[in-house]
Amino acid sequence: MPHDLDPRLLRSFTAVADDLHFTRAAARLYVAQQALSRDIRRLERELGVDLFVRTTRQVILTADGERLLPYARRVLTAQDELFAAASGAARPLLVDLNTAGMTSGRVLARARELAPECELMARYESGLTFAAAEIVAGRLDVSFGRFAGLEPSVQALLSQQPVRLEPMAVLLPAGHPLAGLERVPLNALAGGTVYAGAGNPRTVEWTELARLLFAGRGITIAPPAPLAIGIEEFQRVMAKDRTPVLAVVDFPEIPGIELRPLVDPVPLSPVSLVWRKGLRHPGLDALRRAAAELAAHERWLKRDPAGWLPERDMSLMCDKE
């Protein structure tokens, strides 16, 4: 097998993989469809595998195509970074914040202050399980979340920096019996059901954290349900179902919904900054500095001895004081 590949062939491959349509991919690349087809056939010959199954109705990736696509994206990302470094202008860094208005947003805001010359572009993918796969595939650069909840094979492709041990909370609809408390003891949830994203493939790491927390405490995780998209829909579903939702203390305020910290013990959600191994970018450097600065100033990694944290997370999340 040759050791040199024309990057144009890899760009053709990723474009067709994104669109699963040769005509649309050719238009996006500003080439003729026949030229794009020739590039794909040439790449298949050089790699010795079929990348796509083509029929008159559809184009789909083969198993080899699925397997090789993340590698192609990483090669192209490295090429972009090489040219950016040579020209002195770094490409935009795509930063997934999961949800607006939380710890990740504060880190991003500080990083923009530290490196105003960098373009740090926010994304909102809602869940590290999904975001990590996007990072591996080269469609995202950075995300935040519970690193210990990822599959080991995915962890091996990523780097992480502890950012915060964030106290957890519950969201309650107005008028809920527990909404009158300033803090909700965990045992007050016993015998009830709490929503924790079960069935959502994007947030597997969060649901697992909830299972570990609720185990032996008589708290049931709500069964899978369609995801409420948008604040108004979230408000409507909560008002109708009246099921508490597991959250963190910095969850953005929503009218008509009360947020109450959990106590006895205080459960902690481990938040890490996560990026692809080998990534070099001044924006990443700024994010790492911002995360370390905020963690030190806010004592984000100071663990209360009475707090709750899974054993698997303890080895990754350490007190920086």
Residue 273 φ then ψ, to 5°: -85, 130
Query: Is residue 126 predicted with pLDDT exceeding 90?
Result: no
The CA distance from 262 to 184, in Å, is 5
Report the C-alpha gap between 54 and 62 in whole angstroms: 10
Q: Same structural domain for residues 151 and 177? A: no
Closest CA to 246 of 186, 168, 305, 309: 168
Same domain for 153 and 177, yes or no, is: no
Q: The tokens of 286 are what?
A: 């700024």
Do 191 and 131 sit in the same domain of this protein?
no
pLDDT band at residue 273 under the 50/70/90 scheme: very high
pLDDT score, position 319: 45
Q: Residue 85's pLDDT is what?
A: 66
Is the pTM higher than 0.85? The answer reads no
CA dihedral over 105, 111, 113, 118, signed as positive or negative? negative
pLDDT at 237: 85
pLDDT at 3: 66
pLDDT confidence bin for 321, thresholds 50/70/90: very low
Question: Checking DSSP bridges between strand 266-276 and strand 307-308, what pairing results, if any?
Answer: parallel
**80, pLDDT greater than 80:** no
Instruction: Look over the chain and give the mean of its residue pLDDT values, rounded to a whole number.
Output: 90
Q: Specify if 78 maps to a domain.
A: no
Peptide bond into 116 cis (omega under 30): no
Q: What is the pLDDT of residue 115?
A: 93
**Can you give the residue range of the structural domain that contains 231?**
166-267
pLDDT > 70: percent of the chain: 96
Q: Is residue 179 part of a domain?
A: yes
Q: What is the mean pLDDT of residues 130-155?
A: 94
159 and 180 co-located in one domain: no
Whether residues 160 and 303 share a domain: the answer is yes
Residue 172 and residue 289 in one domain: no
132/149 same-domain check:
yes
CATH of the domain at 200: 3.40.190.10
- Give residue 318's pLDDT band: very low, low, confident or very high (50, 70, 90): low
| Cα dist from 92 to 77, 80, 86, 138, 188, whole Å | 12, 11, 15, 13, 46
Rounded-to-integer distance, Cα 310 and Cα 270, Å:
9
Q: Is the pLDDT of residue 131 over 50?
A: yes
Q: Which residue has the tokens 């007050």?
A: 188
For residues 148-156, give the mean pLDDT. Answer: 94
The alpha carbons of the chain give a radius of gyration, in whole angstroms, of 23
Domains of the chain: total: 3
Does the pLDDT of residue 231 top 90, yes or no? no
- Clarify whether residues 49 and 132 are in a common domain: no
Longest C-alpha distance within the chain, in Å?
69
Cα 147 to Cα 90, 111, 123, 127, 271: the distances in Å are 27, 21, 18, 11, 8
pLDDT for residue 84: 66
**72 within a domain of the structure (yes/no):** no
- CA 74 distance to own-chain centroid: 18
